[in-house]
């Protein structure tokens, strides 16, 4: 039998971390003690009260049946309450919140709701690969918006050609930013909302890292700015805030029409989040939040060790205010790929090549702070032994 894949899957590259996972597995197989600064996957435990809620709810047979695909009202109310407490944002849990199997799933599926084949979608570059992946599956054409260090890695709306803006249907935006660690403030969000209104472009803001922040800085939500709900939605999850990446539970919130469309799409293709997990996530969102501040202290210490260590080798990096990522240029004489390969082969340290996030990531790499500080120190030592001091 001849098996032929559809064009849309042929156009889809292998997922960045699926490729990296294979490299790590091969090294481990060869007996290397690999230190991974690759995927941003929190290493610290999920808070106990969340786990206890999961266990308790898992004993209730009612929770073993199909959940509602848009999420239990209890869960959606917890999301709305969290937005109120954290950002002062009012959300109607019945119409303005939909549960997701992690924000990645919703980010991939929103393109199916709003992009027809051939449509233009604005995608930050470097950026989380799921923005373009979902759009490509929907047959749309990403137009990449370069995030440049001289602009603080913010989108430069003035540089978007008018004809491109006129035909674009969605803009993906993500602050605090993966992979650069950049943050955005009120002026940026106001400009974004004006831009979206002027050209009728749906804003899809990814706020996954809003609660991983340092030095007293508290990132805002896109939804807290006037007009946001009129032009878009925000994707979020409990993954990064409460160390729950494996649980697959998130949400989209904001514009009711968009929330309804995403919920309708999802009810046709998935059956929602296990109810015991929804109760547990709700316990996280409505429970004590001091654990988040405690955890950020741990990341901050790791950040300082890593940045100061790299700077002692010749880098000149500023400390990011948010996310658990460090974005850095590769030393002179290397490309993103050749530097990542060298560091993996000679030091057994996994870093993510900047090109994994798009063409504008060329010449950069990303390190995640999701391992213990002693391992970060060891990674630095191994990198030092491999390359010595560096120039740019």
Q: Which residues bind ligand MLT (CB under 6 A)?
A: 39-41, 104, 178, 368
CB of 198 to ligand MLT, least distance (A): 31
CB of 61 to ligand MLT, least distance (A): 32
- What is the C-alpha to C-alpha distance for residues 85 and 316, in angstroms, rounded to an integer? 37
In the bound state with ligand MLT, the residue whose beta carbon lies nearer, of 328 and 368, is: 368
Q: How many beta carbons lie within 10 A of that of residue 18, not counting itself?
A: 9
Would you say 145 and 125 are in contact if contact means Cβ atoms under 8 Å apart? yes
User: In degrees to the nearest 10, what's the CA dihedral of 161, 165, 170, 174?
Assistant: 40
Q: How far is the CB of 286 from ligand MLT (least distance, A)?
A: 23
Rg of the chain over all Cα atoms, to the nearest angstrom: 21
Instruction: Give min distance, CB of 326 to ligand MLT, in A.
Output: 12
SS3 120: strand
Rank residues 127 and 348 by Cβ distance to ligand MLT and give the closer one: 127
Q: Which residue is nearest to ligand MLT (CB)?
A: 40
Q: What is the DSSP string of 262-326?
A: HHHHHHHH-----HHHHHHHHHHHHS--HHHHHHHHHHHHHHHHHHHHHHHTT--PPPPSBSSEE
CB of 366 to ligand MLT, least distance (A): 8
Minimal distance, residue 267 CB to ligand MLT, in Å: 23
Of 71 and 250, which has the nearer Cβ to ligand MLT?
250
Cβ closer to ligand MLT: 96 or 105?
Answer: 105
Q: What is the rounded distance in angstroms from the CA atom of residue 189 to the CA atom of residue 14?
A: 32
Q: Which residues pair with 144 in a beta bridge?
A: 123
Distance CA 258, CA 222 (A): 15
- Unique residue bearing structure tokens 């590769």: 330
Min. distance of Cβ 10 from ligand MLT in angstroms?
23
Scored b (16 or more CB within 10 A) or e, 290-321 reads: ebbeebbeebbebbebbbebbeeeebeeeebb
Considering the complex, state which of residue 113 and residue 369 has its C-beta at the smaller distance from ligand MLT.
369
Q: How near is the Cβ of 24 to ligand MLT at its closest, in Å?
A: 13
Tokens of 58: 């898992």
Other beta carbons within 10 angstroms of residue 238's beta carbon come to: 30
Closer CB to ligand MLT, residue 41 or residue 304?
41
Tell me, letter by letter, the H, E, C secondary structure of 359-379.
Answer: HHHCCEEEEECCCCHHHHHHH
* Strands lying side by side in the sheet with 168-174: 97-100, 250-254, 232-237, 202-206, 168-174, 120-125, 141-146
Rounded to 5 degrees, what angle do the CA atoms 326, 149, 331 make?
60
* Between 104 and 169, CB nearer to ligand MLT: 104
HSE-CB of 99 using CA atoms within 13 angstroms: 28
Provide, rounded to whole angstroms, the least separation between the CB of residue 142 and ligand MLT: 18
In the bound state with ligand MLT, the residue whose beta carbon lies nearer, of 132 and 178, is: 178
Q: Which is nearer to ligand MLT, 241 or 255 (CB)?
A: 241
């Amino acid at each position: 039998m001849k098996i032929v894949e559809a064009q849309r899957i042929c156009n889809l590259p292998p997922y960045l971390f699926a490729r990296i996972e294979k490299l790590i597995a091969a090294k481990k197989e060869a007996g290397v003690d690999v230190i991974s600064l690759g995927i941003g996957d929190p290493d610290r435990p999920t808070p106990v009260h969340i786990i206890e809620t999961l266990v308790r709810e898992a004993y209730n047979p009612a929770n073993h049946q199909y959940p509602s695909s848009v999420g239990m009202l209890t869960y959606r109310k917890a999301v709305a309450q969290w937005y109120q407490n954290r950002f002062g944002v009012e959300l109607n849990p019945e119409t303005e919140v939909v549960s997701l199997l992690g924000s990645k799933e919703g980010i991939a599926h929103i393109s199916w709701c709003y992009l027809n084949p051939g449509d233009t979608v604005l995608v930050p570059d470097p950026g989380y690969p799921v923005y373009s992946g979902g759009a490509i599956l929907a047959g749309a054409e990403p137009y990449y918006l370069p995030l440049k260090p001289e602009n603080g890695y913010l989108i430069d709306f003035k540089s978007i050609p008018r004809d491109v803006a006129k035909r674009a249907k969605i803009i993906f935006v993500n602050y605090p930013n993966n992979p650069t660690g950049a943050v955005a403030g009120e002026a940026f969000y106001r400009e974004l909302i004006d831009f979206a209104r002027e050209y009728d472009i749906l804003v899809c803001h990814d706020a996954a890292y809003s609660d991983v922040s340092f030095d007293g800085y508290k990132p805002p939500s896109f939804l807290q700015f006037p007009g946001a709900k009129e032009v878009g939605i925000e994707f979020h999850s409990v993954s990064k805030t409460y160390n729950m990446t494996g649980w697959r539970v998130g949400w989209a919130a904001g514009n009711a029409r968009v929330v309804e469309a995403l919920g309708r799409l999802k009810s046709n293709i998935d059956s929602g989040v296990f109810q015991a997990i929804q109760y547990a996530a709700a316990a996280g969102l409505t429970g004590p939040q001091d654990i988040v501040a405690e955890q950020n202290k741990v990341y901050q210490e790791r950040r300082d060790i890593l940045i100061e260590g790299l700077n002692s080798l010749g880098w000149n990096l500023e400390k990011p205010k948010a996310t658990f990522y460090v974005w850095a240029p590769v030393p002179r004489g290397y490309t993103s790929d050749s530097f990542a390969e060298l560091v993996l082969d000679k030091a057994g340290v996994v870093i993510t090549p900047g090109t994994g996030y798009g063409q504008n990531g060329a010449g950069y790499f990303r390190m995640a702070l999701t391992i213990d500080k002693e391992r970060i120190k060891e990674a630095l030592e191994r990198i030092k032994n491999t390359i010595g001091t560096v120039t740019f």
